[in-house]
Every structure is written in structure tokens, then in C-alpha cells.
Amino acid sequence: MWTRHLFLKLSANSTLRRWMESSPHARHLTERFIAGETLEQELDVCANLEQQGVWAALDHLGESVTTLDEAAQSAEAYVAALDGIAARKLASVVSIKITQFGVDLSPAACLANVVRVVEKGKSIGSRVEIDMESSRYTDRTLYIAEQASALGPVRCVIQAYLHRSRADVERMNRLRIPVRLCKGAYDEPVTVAFPSKADVDEHYLQLMRTLLDDGTYPAIATHDPRMLEATTAYALERGISADRFEFQMLYGIRRDLQRKLVEQGYRLRLYVPYGTAWYPYFMRRLAERPANVFFLVRNLFH
């Protein structure tokens, strides 16, 4: 637990971030989790994954912006990514954050930026996935997802560690908005989120069953073998075919499980980030699993 809190705290350290993101040695440390700094590097990785039977969700790294011009540039980056997906005929989608699209500056401008990307996605036969950030953005993220879903294919992330998530999943199911279910990766107070891993796991399983039963093409996002086994067992028990849902994982994490799912005939999509503003994402990946920290330490000495 202490490692999680340490790396989450470090993810907000601006001095360390500037040093890491400008370090010539950083690529050696980050290449397992991050496709590269450019869109072309990202698309190369996505094309290679498709040859292995795996789809991708592209994430252009960057979170809160400070001007509306930056927010518009973020939207433009995703439009360019969708153009690249279309040009290469990839079965990829893009995954966005509303803080990157200016929600803290202007909710209306943020929605307009999201709609622009959603409409672009629709025009090429793709989809936009809307990431969930800390709980202070939950209501705004769901509102934007609901508004944008009327204009093109959208999938919204729901975090199982939040107390409110059952009601949110049920609402998304009623609206026929697809959901990506994850456990959650932000530090939250006990008034908002389950503090116990056992409680989070149980809530995750409950929400997974609800999504498989009543959801619209849900994504079950996890690296936990127990959650994967429970999902496949429940789908088999209920007669839910493998084309009615997909699994999602993060690029570079639990490649053994990724291969196993594909070999078993399940659909798998990897969340594949790229860009220069990679530091917060990288630190959250270290916070999630001790094995990721061990990977970092090994690479420091190679």
C-alpha cells in the first residue's frame, strides 16, 4: 500500500516530472508502457498489435490544460489520430480525458471539443472512449458522455472502487451507452471509495455481471487473473458469446494474460499511450502493481 501512495504522490511532483520527461535515458524506462512520443510510432505499435489479433485504444498523453487553445490542440491531436487510424485501416479507437479537453476552463468548450472528436470517430467507423479521472470529475464526465453519445459511438469508463458506481452502471445500461469497467487508480477518501481491496473486488464482480447481463458491448478492463476467470466463467454460465464484450488491458502489462485471452478466442483491446507528457501516466502504472516497480529497478541497471 505504501508504494501506491508514494508513486501517486510522485506523479504530482512537477520538478521530478520536468527532469524525467527531459532525460535522454527515459525512453529506456518507459518503452514497455508507452508506444512512443509521436503518432507514427503509436500507429506502428497498433498495427503490430493487430497482426497479433489485438486491438488498441490510442491515448495521447496529457491531462489538465491551462488554456482553451491547448484544449483545442488536444482535440486536434485526436482528430489526427483518427485520421491515422483510417489511413491504416486499423480497428482502433481513441481514449480521451475531459481535463485534457478543457472542462476546468469551460464546460461548453470541453463538450464542443469532445463532440468534434466523436463526430470524426463516427465518420470513419470508429469510437471514442471517455476515461474516468478522479471523483471530482465523475458527474461531469458522465454528463459529457451522455451528450456526446447522441452524436456518435462513445464508451464511458466506470470505476468499481467508487460507492456510486452501481447506480452509474445501471444508468449507462438504460441509456445503452457502452461501459469500460475498471477498478480505479486515484487516491480517494473513504467517503467516496471502498478502502478495502476485497470490497473493491466484490463490487467489480457485481458490476461485471450487471454489464454482461444488461450492458451494451461492455469492456472488462483488468489484469487480475481472478477477475478474468470470473468473467469468462460467468459468460460461459450465462451463454454470453465472446463477441458481446471485450477485455481491455494496458499496453505492456501482464503480456502473459494477454496472450492467453487471445489464444482462448476472446476479444482484447490494449490501452496504448503515446506523447511527450508521459510522466503522470507512468507513475500511476508504477503505483498499481509492485511488479511494475521491480521492472523499473531491473531496467535501471541494464
pLDDT value of residue 87: 98
Share of the chain above pLDDT 70, in %: 81
Say what the pLDDT of residue 299 is: 46
Looking at residue 289, its pLDDT comes to 57
Question: Which of the two residues, 53 and 10, has the higher pLDDT score?
Answer: 53
Q: Please tell me which residue in 17, 59, 116, 131 is annotated as part of the active site.
A: 131
- C-alpha atoms less than 13 angstroms from C-alpha of 171 in its C-beta half-sphere: 13
Identify the residue with better confidence: 1 or 66. 66
Look at residue 1 in the predicted model and tell me its pLDDT. 52
From the candidates 127, 180, 254, 267, give the one annotated as an active-site residue: 180
Residue 131 is a catalytic residue: yes
Residue 26 has pLDDT above 80, yes or no: no
Cβ-contact 10, 279 below 8 angstroms = no
CA separation for the pair 39, 266 (Å, rounded): 28
For residue 73, pLDDT over 90 is answered with: yes
CATH numeric code, 35-277: 3.20.20.220
Going from N- to C-terminal start, the domains of the chain cover 35-277
Looking at 135-144, 182-191, 241-250, which range is the least confident one?
A: 182-191
Instruction: Quickly tell me which residue has 465472446 as its cell.
Output: 242
β partners of residue 272: 58
pLDDT at 213 > cutoff 90? yes
Alpha carbons 218 and 213: distance in angstroms, whole number = 10
Decide if 289 is catalytic.
Answer: no
What stretch of H or E contains 85? Answer: helix 68-88
List, for residues 118-153, the tens digit of each pLDDT value.
999 999 999 999 999 999 999 999 999 999 999 999
Q: Which long-range contacts (CB under 8 A, 24 or more apart) does 246-249 make?
A: 246/55, 246/217, 246/218, 246/219, 246/220, 247/219, 247/220, 247/221, 247/222, 248/57, 248/180, 248/182, 248/219, 248/220, 248/221, 249/221, 249/222, 249/223
Of the pLDDT bands very low, low, confident and very high (cuts 50, 70, 90), residue 107 is: very high
Question: Given this model, what pLDDT does residue 126 score?
Answer: 98
| Residue ranges with strand state E in 85-216 | 93-96, 128-130, 154-159, 179-182
pTM of the prediction? 0.87
